[in-house]
Amino acid sequence: MMLTLILSLLLTTLSTLAEAAQTPLHSTQDSNASRHLHLTAVVSAPSPPHHAKFECWEMHNPFISYPTIGSSLSLANISNLTLVTLPPRSKEPLHHPPHPMFFILLSGTSHVRLPADPQGDGLWIKEGSIIVANDMEGIGHWTDYPGDGGAVALQAPFEGGIVPEHRVVSDGICDDDTVGDGRG
């Protein structure tokens, strides 16, 4: 629960960063005017060979007003929050995420490429944004950290491997045109 709180606070912070950094966090409004976060997820295709693909997820829990100022959103129960540092211009070989988790890029640049489309654009993860890594089947994905300053990220595994409730909005990465909004 403490980690949920910490993540909520982190999200509030990240949302502020996000606004400064061209809003990598996305949300929508429904007719009840509740705002939901959209996150790009790396998932395994349902049929063999279960190649990794991107989906856009709308997280079930809405943003609510934060008691002081701004908004918060309960993202997930997390266990073993792990900080990772990646050297400049480094490349991870084909791999699965260590656990179903959020990957939160604190600084630097990260580029995810998929075996089904190795020459494709892939996913450029922006500093200050969150993705879901859940391609636990198949052969996984590549992640490159092309920045000269390396990268720093948090891995936030879902407690008990339980993926937080969400709705798949579309195949592919989330549409940047959706206005991100951490405002209260």
Ligand X SMILES: *[C@@H]1O[C@H](CO)[C@@H](O)[C@H](O)[C@H]1NC(C)=O
Give the interface with ligand X as residue ranges (CB under 6 A): 4, 30-32, 61, 74, 76-77, 80, 82, 98, 164
* Residue number with CB closer to ligand X (98 or 172): 98
- Residue 20: both structure tokens together: 């400064």
Task: Kindly state the smallest distance separating residue 77's Cβ from ligand X, in Å.
Answer: 4
Determine the Cα–Cα distance for residues 39 and 73; give it in Å rounded to an integer. 13
* Residue number with CB closer to ligand X (117 or 165): 165
Task: Kindly state the smallest distance separating residue 58's Cβ from ligand X, in Å.
Answer: 11
Task: Kindly state the smallest distance separating residue 118's Cβ from ligand X, in Å.
Answer: 26
* Residue number with CB closer to ligand X (31 or 47): 31
* Residue number with CB closer to ligand X (82 or 90): 82
* Angle CA 99–104–109, to nearest 5: 115
* Residue number with CB closer to ligand X (76 or 114): 76
| Phi and psi at residue 122, to the nearest 5° | 65, -160
Determine the Cα–Cα distance for residues 24 and 124; give it in Å rounded to an integer. 11
Determine the Cα–Cα distance for residues 51 and 6; give it in Å rounded to an integer. 33
Pairing of β 35-44 and β 130-134: parallel
Q: With H, G, I as helix, E, B as strand and everything else as coil, classify residue 23.
A: coil
Task: Kindly state the smallest distance separating residue 131's Cβ from ligand X, in Å.
Answer: 17
Q: With H, G, I as helix, E, B as strand and everything else as coil, classify residue 72.
A: strand
Task: Kindly state the smallest distance separating residue 157's Cβ from ligand X, in Å.
Answer: 7
- Please tell me whether the peptide bond between 48 and the residue prior to it is cis, using omega within 30 degrees of 0: no
